[in-house]
Amino acid sequence: MIIGLTGGIASGKSTVVRAFESLGVPWVDADDVAREVVQPGEPALASIAERFGTAVLQEDGSLDRRKLREIIFNDPKQRLWLESVTHPQVRKRLLEHLERLQASQPAYVMLVSPLLFESGQDALVDRSVVVDVPEEIQLQRTLARDDVSESQVRAILAAQLSRQERLSRADDVIDNSGSETEMREQVAQLDQRYRNLSRP
């Protein structure tokens, strides 16, 4: 069984998936895979450099993610183009990673993806769990964590599904606005549910 784990920016997806990992659950992160497919030598990076020029490359030939982010969040057409290039590559690579994880026959595996619903990756999973926090907390955490302006954070929030839409599409929800202990209790309950559901 594949469980999709998603949530808006700074909702705490990484902390939650590590709590699942501590219970023996293997996982793959779509963000890591998205970075993999734009490494030097990958076809996606060549397409990006062809479209935007060397301004989006660092001196060593790797992608300047910040420059690219500025371009795509200011121009929805460019973002759509970028997604049309990277999403198929990411999906193919995700399936390879998931197959590798499933080879050891765990009770279930997790696909962590901030754009689970937006990218259509929810078609790859059997159930989806949303890590949820109020938007104000997302804003505060992102400003404290990332070197971005408030307007950039608001643009990222606007580009993602609304909180209501994400919650309406979730099979399960983890409220991550409380303490770590409360979060871990919710994870333990869901882990038990998923293990029961995955039994033949």
Q: How far apart are CA 29 and CA 95, in angstroms?
A: 12
- 130 and 173 in contact (C-beta within 8 Å)? yes
The token duo for 89 is: 């590559």
CA 67 to chain centre: 20
Is residue 15 part of an annotated ligand binding site?
A: yes
The CB density around residue 150, as the number of other CB atoms within 10 Å, is 10
Q: Kindly tell me the burial class for residue 84, based on how many C-beta atoms sit within 10 Å of its own C-beta (0-12, 13-18, 19 or more).
A: exposed
Q: Give the CB-side neighbour count of residue 24, counting CA atoms within 13 A.
A: 9
Is residue 151 part of an annotated ligand binding site?
A: no
Is residue 13 part of an annotated ligand binding site?
A: yes
Is residue 24 part of an annotated ligand binding site?
A: no
Backbone φ, ψ for residue 173 (5° rounding): -130, 135
Question: In 3-state terms, what secondary structure has residue 161?
Answer: coil
- Residues with Cβ within 8 Å of 127's Cβ and at least 6 positions away in sequence, in order, are 1, 3, 4, 171, 172, 194, 197
Is residue 181 part of an annotated ligand binding site?
A: no
Is residue 67 part of an annotated ligand binding site?
A: no
* Residues in the annotated binding site for ATP: 10-15
User: Binding site: what residues are annotated?
Assistant: 10-15
